[in-house]
């Protein structure tokens, strides 16, 4: 994680404090901060650290640094923003395969546009952060998916065990621009900032065919809805629009009145209800979303009694389990079957027979890095059994890979030649921990 320079942190703290102390304050002198050289430099470093690919112009980080250089790149962007000649490039559309066989559209702005968006985000995010509700966890400083899951578990443990697992239909594609800009304008009246955001929202979306032909498939000045997934500013804007849902819930004291706590991570939403309240809560949720011009995906939205059923949230499967040791009920949180299968499939892919032509060290390092990242997120709460299965799968796959590499046909001979211990000591395989990420899960329940 890159450390924010103190001079930028000071600015952010001042903006946050002002916004927190004066909920009705509208900020007007912000645009000149966006093109400050230090803010643009830090924005470039942050975008660079995210490692994203090139946008529609094909310009990569390597090309910027080898040809014009970072200093010249930032100076050009600074001048364009200062003189208000800056215009965003079209957004490159790529399709990302999903586990269910469908595809998710991802919009990739050019590096130049990503840096400009990051600079704007550095300036305006503290203002909106002051307004966000405590039950909102996505894309926020000092908030996390684990904290959201903890909130869900705590609510379940205090009697909120009827769960509405809400799914919004094509949320990022359906955010109404006029409504979103009205929410932004509640806090920001700097016309230049508002114009920047409008330009990013209305940037044309272009798809590149296999033969290199570019086709305009959306966006543009006539576009009235959506913010492309993949833009640096998009998570903040999408979070800001759903803040309206949180705010309605909080200001109308619906947790007390309806017996339902809302927990939200971006557009992943669960409403935890007291027994018998889920029907009324669902009606109210539909009414609010209708006002926001958003739609529930009825096929994926479901109501679950956590004593009898399970639901998935942020990669985890959650239900009310019974402790074998004490007999007490507690919120059981473990990696979902989908998340487990995904990492197993990736391990299998990285260690398949065709990879025997690659250096063994490369195969092991690549696999280790991927598994470490997965474990870093899922080594949490009641994960022991899942992690044991992942470790076993990892050992078996590397053993199989070594047999193929050394032409050892017999499986049992492979286990003798490449015992588990040697996988770690000789070949450097990452050892997946198999103790629970949160050892007191049962003891505290």
Residues 231, 88: contact at Cβ < 8 Å?
A: no
- Give yes or no for residue 440 having a pLDDT over 70: no
In the chain, the number of structural domains is 3
In a domain, 71, yes or no: yes
Q: What is the pLDDT of residue 99?
A: 66
| For residues 198-222, average pLDDT | 83
- What range does the domain containing 391 cover? 333-440
CATH number at residue 296: 3.30.70.270
The model's pLDDT over 263-292, given as tens digits with 9 standing for 90+, comes to 999 999 999 999 999 999 999 999 999 999
The model's pLDDT over 317-334, given as tens digits with 9 standing for 90+, comes to 999 999 888 999 999 999
The model's pLDDT over 371-382, given as tens digits with 9 standing for 90+, comes to 999 999 999 999
Q: Are strands 91-97 and 205-208 parallel, antiparallel or unpaired?
A: parallel
Same domain, yes or no, for 170 and 60? no
Same domain, yes or no, for 99 and 16? yes
The model's pLDDT over 176-193, given as tens digits with 9 standing for 90+, comes to 999 999 999 999 999 999
| Residue bearing tokens 């586990």 | 99
Which of 279, 310, 341 is the last residue before a domain boundary?
310
Query: How many CA atoms lie less than 13 Å away from 300 in the CB half-sphere?
Result: 14
- Give yes or no for residue 444 having a pLDDT over 70: no
Banded pLDDT at 196 (limits 50, 70, 90): very high
| For residues 60-66, average pLDDT | 95
- Give yes or no for residue 445 having a pLDDT over 60: no
Same domain, yes or no, for 163 and 272? yes
Banded pLDDT at 441 (limits 50, 70, 90): very low
In a domain, 215, yes or no: no
Q: What is the pLDDT of residue 207?
A: 87
**Reduced to 3 states, what is the DSSP secondary structure of residue 41?**
helix
Same domain, yes or no, for 290 and 342? no
Which of 310, 341, 356 is the last residue before a domain boundary?
310
| Residue bearing tokens 């205090």 | 158
| For residues 416-427, average pLDDT | 94
Q: What is the pLDDT of residue 443?
A: 36
Same domain, yes or no, for 142 and 288? yes
Residue 318, token pair as written in the block:
């959650």
DSSP secondary structure letters along 78-145: HHHHHTT---PPPEEEEEEE-TTS-EEEEEE--HHHHHHHHHHHHHHHHHHHTT--TTB-TT-TT--H
In a domain, 239, yes or no: yes
């Amino acid at each position: 994680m890159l450390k924010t320079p103190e001079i930028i942190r000071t600015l952010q703290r001042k903006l946050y404090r002002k916004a927190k102390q004066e909920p009705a304050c509208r900020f007007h002198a912000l645009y000149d901060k966006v093109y400050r050289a230090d803010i643009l430099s830090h924005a470039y470093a942050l975008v660079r650290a995210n490692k994203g690919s090139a946008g529609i112009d094909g310009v990569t980080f390597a090309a910027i640094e080898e040809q014009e250089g970072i200093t010249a790149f930032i100076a050009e962007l600074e001048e364009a923003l200062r003189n208000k000649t800056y215009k965003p490039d079209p957004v490159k559309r790529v399709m990302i395969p999903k586990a269910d066989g469908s595809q998710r559209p991802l919009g990739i702005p050019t590096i130049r546009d990503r840096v400009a968006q990051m600079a704007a985000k550095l300036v305006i995010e503290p203002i909106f952060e002051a307004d966000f509700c405590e039950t909102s966890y996505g894309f926020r400083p000092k908030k996390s998916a684990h904290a959201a899951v903890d909130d869900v578990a705590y609510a379940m443990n205090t009697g909120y065990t009827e769960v509405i697992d809400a799914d919004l239909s094509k949320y990022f594609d359906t955010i109404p621009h006029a409504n979103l800009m009205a929410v932004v304008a509640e806090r920001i009246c700097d016309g230049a900032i508002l114009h920047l955001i409008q330009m990013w929202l209305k940037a044309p979306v272009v798809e590149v065919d296999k033969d290199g032909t570019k086709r305009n498939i959306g966006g543009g000045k006539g576009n009235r809805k959506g913010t492309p997934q993949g833009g640096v500013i998009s998570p903040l804007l999408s979070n800001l629009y759903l803040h309206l849902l949180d705010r309605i819930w909080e200001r109308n004291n619906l947790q007390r009145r309806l017996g339902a706590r809302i927990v939200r991570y971006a557009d992943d939403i669960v409403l935890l209800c007291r027994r018998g309240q889920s029907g009324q809560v669902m009606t109210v949720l539909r009414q609010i979303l209708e006002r926001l011009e958003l739609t529930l995906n009825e096929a994926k939205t479901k109501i679950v009694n956590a004593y009898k059923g399970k639901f998935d949230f942020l990669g985890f499967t959650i239900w009310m389990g019974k402790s074998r040791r004490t007999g007490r009920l507690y919120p059981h949180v473990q990696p979902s079957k989908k998340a487990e299968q995904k990492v197993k499939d990736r391990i299998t892919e990285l260690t398949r027979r065709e990879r025997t032509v690659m250096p063994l060290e490369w195969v092991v390092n690549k696999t280790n890095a991927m598994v470490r990242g997965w474990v870093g997120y899922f080594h949490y709460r009641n994960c022991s059994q899942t992690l044991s299965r992942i470790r076993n799968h990892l050992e078996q796959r590397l053993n199989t890979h070594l047999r193929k590499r050394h032409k050892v046909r017999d499986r049992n001979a492979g286990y003798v030649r490449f015992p588990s211990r040697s996988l770690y000591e000789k070949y450097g395989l990452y050892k997946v921990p198999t103790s629970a990420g949160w050892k007191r899960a049962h003891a505290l329940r």
